[in-house]
């Protein structure tokens, strides 16, 4: 997974819990080992969709300029 704050690539299954939310056994956050940002695992599919859509739009815009 890539941290949405700093861009660091890490394995969310190897990361630790945040320790601040009070429900760390089931909080569904992957804590970035570099910056400490809590990346929500439940939103990963939505972010993937948005990223793909942004790439398609950039591709479409670059073809329209030609």
pTM of the model as a whole: 0.54
* Helix ranges restricted to H, 1-66: 44-65
What's the domain range around 17? 1-66
Provide the pLDDT confidence category of residue 56 given band limits of 50, 70 and 90: very high
Each residue of 4-50: pLDDT tens digit?
Answer: 899 999 988 775 655 555 555 667 788 889 998 888 887 777 778 88
Helix (H, G, I), strand (E, B) or coil at 1: coil
- Closest by CA position to 40, among listed 27, 53, 50, 49: 27
Number of domains in the chain: 1
* Contact assessment for residue 19 and residue 29, using Cβ atoms and an 8 Å cutoff: no
């Amino acid at each position: 997974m890539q941290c949405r704050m700093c861009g660091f690539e890490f394995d969310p299954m190897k990361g630790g819990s945040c320790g601040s939310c009070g429900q760390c056994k089931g909080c569904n956050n992957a804590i970035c080992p570099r910056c400490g940002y809590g990346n929500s695992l439940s939103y990963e599919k939505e972010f993937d969709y948005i990223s793909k859509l942004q790439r398609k739009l950039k591709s479409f815009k670059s073809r329209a300029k030609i």
